[in-house]
Amino acid sequence: MEALEQKLGYVFCSRELLGEALNHSSYANEHRGSRILSNERLEFLGDSILGFVTAEHLFKTYPDLPEGDLTRIRAALVCEQSLYEVALELNLGAYLKLGRGEEAGGGRERQSILADAVEAVFAAVYLDSDMASVSELIHRVLLDRSDKGVVEERKDYKTALQELVQREEGRTLTYQMTGESGPDHNKTFTFRVLVNGEAVGEGAGHSKKEAEQAAARDALRRFA
């Protein structure tokens, strides 16, 4: 735990809170009756804290941007991929407590599990201290490392494509999964995007959402 606290730059008054943030639901389910709590409630709180801190940061950093642009940038900054990268920087997977099945299935490297744990840790820091402390942590591990290039890379291409397609009445936009490969803990999905039934873009990713975004990005390049 001390090594993780050093990476976080924060020393917990209550190690129990940090421990709870690292308990996956599969671990808690295997220890029912032992009063071991999963990190799901902390994840719920951490998600809201992260959203607020990021919104405040963007509100102050980009005073001229309209609501729609701020919303899209916030979504890019707090997406699963961003949180997953934070988890890798913290080596958070090494500290997770997983059930035997989740452990065997590669849960320690699973993107969604690691991203959720980051949000749970944010909540644990907040409950252990205050908003100022967790805000400093979020800025240091996430927001202050972000730049316009990162925001552009993680742009919400699906929303941009939807807005483009809707400029002409009667056009419909759909996504279709065309492939799935790899082990359960490291799958690759492929999607195509269609406008009025005609394929206009294709993409792949380690989650369905990521693959859809890649397909939308490909379509936008073709429309450009």
Beta bridge partners of 104: none
Indicate which residue of 119, 128, 210, 212 is catalytic.
119
Secondary structure, 3-state, 189-218:
EEEEEEECCEEEEEEEECCHHHHHHHHHHH
Q: Is 47 tagged catalytic? A: yes
Indicate which residue of 30, 40, 47, 80 is catalytic.
47
DSSP letter string, 114-138: HHHHHHHHHHHHHHHS-HHHHHHHH
For 188, the 3-state DSSP assignment is strand
Q: Is 128 tagged catalytic? A: no
Answer yes or no: are the C-beta atoms of 85 and 91 closer than 8 Å: no
Residues labelled as active-site residues:
47, 119
